[in-house]
Amino acid sequence: METTFNLFRKVATVSLGCLMVCASAAAQGKKAPLVFSVENTGAKYAEPRYGTPDEQPEVAALTNPFQWSRGKGEAKSLKQWARRRSEIAHEIQHWEIGTKPTVPMDSIDARMNGDTLVVTVHVRGQVLTLSSKIFYPRGGKAPYPLMIGASHNSIPTRIFTERNIAMMVFYEGQVNNYSQFGHPAGRGNYPFDRLYPELTENGAYSEWAWGFSRLLDGLQKLGAAVTKIDMAHIGVTGCSYAGKMALFCGALDERVALTIAQEPGGGGAAAWRVSRTLGNVETLDKTDYHWFKNSLKAGFGGERVNRLPHDHHELVALCCPRALLLLGNPDFEWLADPSMYVSANAALTVWQRFGIADRMGYSIVPGHGHCQLPECQYPEVEAFVDKFLLGKPDVNTTVRIAPDEYKSRYDHRHWVTW
């Protein structure tokens, strides 16, 4: 039997350890940047070694977002997270969506045609032009924060206009016009493919994220004096398939201060591993493979999903240390919101480690149509907009809202083993 002294010593040691961890997280939180001035702070780091799908170890739980790709040790500081973040981004592109090419600023031409931003990208003698009108607020003072809708903005515009936030839309069809409806050009025939004919295996989400970043290049190159836009306060949002798009765009460009992914469904914030255990939901086997590389299903379909070296809680975590709000709608089973709930809580551990858990939230609320934000969710969206686009530091953004049954039926601790 242990003595009272030994028990006290154990409790004291654990308490001291907790205090040290909390103090370290708090210290990192105070210095964690809210946004960056470059697309990818991890560009200097080399790609990890991949191997083949058969060579990947089976991991039935969610993969450890902190663990280095080589399998030894973890990222414990924000500086180390920049490197680990680079590894995750490389893995997602390699295994899932295809390469998002980098473009030097001297290959970008940008101009304003009235209130319309026009960006021309030059790659190996080929050009691609993007354009989008900026809707400036009637009040306030330039430079303005900017919310960009991925394909469309489903959040009520008054949330932004009443706050003197500028708005624009990223028209993804200018890069890759794939749609589940109509007559898209098809792989190898999109505007993007003229510039990068070697990347025809790409899924649409890598190409759309690439095009979104080129709009930011244009804004950055022209500067606030010309565009009237504050590059330190840019957000992106989208719903459904465009909710996935917004998440990929925000995750893969660190110039985005706030990402709001609305009802992104499977292939977005939901984890592939978790979704496979649910009912009639979007899974790795049942998604649209115009969006992803065909090799994703070939390599990791069925039970082989456990060999995928990452999962979508790590896609979510790519937004850290920047701000992210996930919006769900459990009335639509296909969206796999129980999986997004698990994934969100798993990703939250990254923000928690760095003492900035208030920068990541989720709100999963029933009782409304698809992509129709109910008024009961306005406060959560407004809080994130106020804090991360308007710079109001005292706003409460600790948002953890989900149906009560999720907490018992879909306990994320079953999946989080690190």
**Domain harbouring 337, CATH code:** 3.40.50.1820
Average pLDDT over residues 315-320: 98
Q: Which residue has the tokens 């639509």?
A: 332
Domain contains 93: no
User: Tens digit of pLDDT for each residue in 397-408?
Assistant: 999 999 999 999
CA angle, 362 then 244 then 222, to 5° = 100
Q: Which residue has the higher pLDDT, 26 or 128?
A: 128
| Residues known to be catalytic | 240, 370
Q: pTM value?
A: 0.94
- Which pLDDT belongs to residue 31? 86
- Which pLDDT belongs to residue 23? 58
- Which pLDDT belongs to residue 7? 33
**Nearest CA among 160, 154, 159 for reference residue 135:** 160
Share of the chain above pLDDT 90, in %: 90
Share of the chain above pLDDT 70, in %: 94
Domain range for 128 is 105-414
Domain contains 31: no
**Rounded distance between C-alpha atoms, residue 387 and residue 393, angstroms:** 6
- Which pLDDT belongs to residue 370? 98
Domain contains 151: yes
User: Tens digit of pLDDT for each residue in 363-398?
Assistant: 999 999 999 999 999 999 999 999 999 999 999 999
Q: What is the residue-averaged pLDDT of the chain?
A: 94
**Who contacts 148 (Cβ-Cβ below 8 Å, separation ≥6)?**
167, 168, 169, 170, 212, 215, 234, 235, 236, 237
Query: Residue 22 — very low, low, confident or very high, per pLDDT cuts 50/70/90?
Result: low
Query: Residue 28 — very low, low, confident or very high, per pLDDT cuts 50/70/90?
Result: confident
Average pLDDT over residues 344-348: 98
Number of domains in the chain: 1
DSSP for 58-109, written as a single string? P-SS---TTB-TTSS-B--SHHHHHHHHHHHHHHHIIIII-------GGGEE
Chain centroid to CA 354: 18
Domain contains 91: no
Domain contains 21: no
Least confident of 169-178, 254-263, 407-416: 407-416
- Which pLDDT belongs to residue 93? 98
DSSP for 142-206, written as a single string? SSEEEEEEES---S-THHHHTTT-EEEEE-GGGT----SSS----TT-SHHHHH-GGGTT--HHH
**Rg of the chain (C-alpha set):** 21
Peptide bond into 338 cis (omega under 30): no
Question: Given a cut of 50, is residue 2 above it in pLDDT?
Answer: no
Domain contains 272: yes
DSSP letter at 357?
G
Average pLDDT over residues 14-33: 64
Longest dimension (CA), the chain: 80
User: Tens digit of pLDDT for each residue in 47-68?
Assistant: 999 999 999 999 999 999 999 9
- Which pLDDT belongs to residue 140? 96
User: Tens digit of pLDDT for each residue in 101-113?
Assistant: 999 999 999 999 9
DSSP letter at 390?
S
Domain contains 344: yes
Domain contains 359: yes
- Which pLDDT belongs to residue 160? 98
User: Tens digit of pLDDT for each residue in 144-201?
Assistant: 999 999 999 999 999 999 999 999 999 999 999 999 888 899 999 999 999 999 999 9
- Which pLDDT belongs to residue 13? 43
Number of residues in the chain: 418
